[in-house]
Amino acid sequence: MTKDTEKDINLAEFKEEVLAAYPKKVAKKRAKGIVYNDPDEIPQIQANVRTIPGIITQRGCTYAGCKGVVLGPTRDIVNITHGPIGCGFYSWLTRRNQTRPDEQAPENFIPYAFSTDMQDSNIVFGGEEKLKQAIREAYELFHPKAIAIFSTCPVGLIGDDVHRVARHMTEELEGKVNIFGFSCEGYRGVSQSAGHHIANNGLYKNLIGNDDSVDGKYKFRINVLGEYNIGGDAFAIETLMDKCGIELVATMSGNSTKKQFETAHTADLSLVMCHRSINYVAEMLETSFGIPWMKANFIGAEATAKTLRKVGKYFGDQELIDRIEKVIAEEMISVKEAQEKALEKTNGKLAMLFVGGSRAHHYQELFNELGMKTISAGYEFGHRDDYEGRRVIPTIQIDADSRNIEQITVYEDSTRYKPRKTEEELKALESEGLEFNGYEGMMAEMKKGTLVIDDLSHYEMEKLIEMYHPDIFCAGIKEKFCVQKMGIPLKQLHNYDYGGPYAAFEGAINFYKDIEQIACCSIWKEMKAPWESEDIVEAEYAY
């Protein structure tokens, strides 16, 4: 099959073929999660529902979303996993969220994995005492500014109360350290997405707004929410902001500090990178403190330029606007050079992206810049709004699994609520093309007829590869070696394998180079599974 013309790729066959292999009930359910896109009339997709038992999913757990994703990347809070050692160990550092301590916060606890290492006796007789002891030990050793406790599955099953322990230990340590717990047991939601929500609520209740001090060298002050510094992405964004003369008050939560969370309410704008994991905090900052938020994207050179221009327009300061334009013009010189070089090889190649809750969308920008077509994409745990846009939120049915997650009601802060822009100013900015509190979702930007698949199963992944032979498949470590054994290169978009940063202009250049190497390398065509080259494959058990 040649891949030169769109008509050669008959995606229409996929759904029927895949569903035929499932039992009737399963096929009925999966059919709702596999849709053909139409950007003009966005179709409804089923998302954020339980995976059918027996299907191999890409998803992680609620604990992973809370500890691993949202709180984990912060560097001066001791994050203790209350549970068996595996949960702590496997949520430790594999995501490559990087940190760089500075004079203000020299602590860096990222290299440590803190766990209570629950044993049989703790499961039978309770683990609260062991947790208290762990907190005492951590305090004596490190004197951290804050200690967070994360609940794993057994904690919920046996009824340990991490919140009571947090209160008890705050008293015992005479309030010298801010201690708080999260009820983020792995089973609490259908995926890690529930953990994000629980983490966001906890950030709001325990940290955001605790410190009114305003410092920094620039007058334009923003937060970047949903940026976790994988492979140094947040460093690239920090450098860029500095060039433009924009203060990053808080990055949530890549390379962040306790103080960044505590002072986030002093910023004048929130940019939301990963809508899925942190849109709750953006909303809470607006409701309580009057800080507007906009969806942003630093993945892709064009997207980065667009985001910077949005910030310039929002502040409406000519000096800032000029400085931003100057930075864009300067950066684009090396971007164009790298892009043209890569394009010679990458143009027309096919990509598939199945990652998390935002990157399967964001990275399509970079593939577009490489002239590559994303013929199929989907999230592991996105909600309908991440696919179809925020306008569908009122129509999303709240099921028992979502109801299980604590909802907190947020009010205007009685003394510190200060709308950064008046209604009229916001309206004027909207008429100039800025969009507040909005996100269009993945489907609005994908071509007509492309395949959008939620919570892709392993079987469906194999079928996609068999039927369409993409030049690159983007997913995670669980998929990596299965896909590569099928002769297709896989780029991990969770931890970037060993690469990155991929954000901002400098990241785009890195990405062009890496993808050119990976997707245009002929070695993959030489890959043959043993059963393809030998008549009989024999093996013996190794005991």
- Using CB under 6 A as the binding rule, whether residue 69 contacts ligand CFM is answered as yes
- Using CB under 6 A as the binding rule, whether residue 359 contacts ligand CFM is answered as yes
Judged by beta carbon, residue 30 or residue 359, the one nearer ligand CFM is 359
Active-site residue, 265 included: no
- The stretch near ligand CFM (CB under 6 A) out of 25-33, 357-365, 437-445, 506-514 is 357-365
User: CA-CA-CA-CA torsion for 185, 190, 196, 197, nearest 10 degrees?
Assistant: -90
- Using CB under 6 A as the binding rule, whether residue 98 contacts ligand CFM is answered as no
- Using CB under 6 A as the binding rule, whether residue 310 contacts ligand CFM is answered as no
Question: Which string of b and e fits 344-365 if b means at least 16 CB within 10 Å?
Answer: ebbeebbbbbbbbbbbbbbbbb
- 229 closest CA partner among 237, 240, 220: 237
Annotate 70-81 with DSSP letters as a single string: IITT-SSEEEEE
Amino acid at 420: R
Active-site residue, 196 included: yes
Strand pairing report for 451-453 and 34-36? antiparallel
Active-site option among 30, 47, 59, 61: 61
Q: For Cα atoms 481, 383, 441, give the angle at the middle one, nearest 5 degrees.
A: 90
- The stretch near ligand CFM (CB under 6 A) out of 33-41, 225-233, 285-293, 310-318 is 225-233
- Using CB under 6 A as the binding rule, whether residue 57 contacts ligand CFM is answered as no
156: tokens are 């919920």
CA distance 217 to 302: 27
- Using CB under 6 A as the binding rule, whether residue 356 contacts ligand CFM is answered as yes
| Candidate residues 78, 135, 230, 237; the one interacting with ligand CFM per rule CB under 6 A | 230
Helix (H) or strand (E) holding 473: strand 472-475
- Using CB under 6 A as the binding rule, whether residue 494 contacts ligand CFM is answered as yes
| Candidate residues 59, 95, 221, 259; the one interacting with ligand CFM per rule CB under 6 A | 95
| Candidate residues 33, 65, 84, 489; the one interacting with ligand CFM per rule CB under 6 A | 65
- Continuous H helices in 296-422: 301-315, 318-346, 359-369, 384-388, 400-403
CA distance 229 to 254: 4
Window 164-203: residues binding ligand CFM (CB under 6 A):
192
Active-site option among 59, 75, 95, 359: 95
- The stretch near ligand CFM (CB under 6 A) out of 114-122, 143-151, 272-280, 535-543 is 272-280
Judged by beta carbon, residue 134 or residue 490, the one nearer ligand CFM is 490
Active-site residue, 64 included: yes
- Using CB under 6 A as the binding rule, whether residue 350 contacts ligand CFM is answered as no
Q: How far is the CB of 18 from ligand CFM (least distance, A)?
A: 23
- Using CB under 6 A as the binding rule, whether residue 328 contacts ligand CFM is answered as no
- Using CB under 6 A as the binding rule, whether residue 357 contacts ligand CFM is answered as yes
| Candidate residues 134, 271, 274, 296; the one interacting with ligand CFM per rule CB under 6 A | 274
| Cβ atoms of residues 249 and 209 within 8 Å | no
Q: How far is the CB of 541 from ligand CFM (least distance, A)?
A: 35
Annotate 70-129 with DSSP letters as a single string: IITT-SSEEEEEES-HHHHHHTSSTT-B-----SS-----TT--EE----HHHHHH-SHH
| Distances in whole angstroms, Cα of residue 168 to Cα of each of 55, 126, 128, 155, 200 | 42, 16, 11, 17, 23
Which residues form the interface with ligand CFM (CB under 6 A)?
65, 69, 95, 192, 226, 228, 230, 274, 276-277, 355-359, 494
Residues known to be catalytic: 61, 64, 95, 196
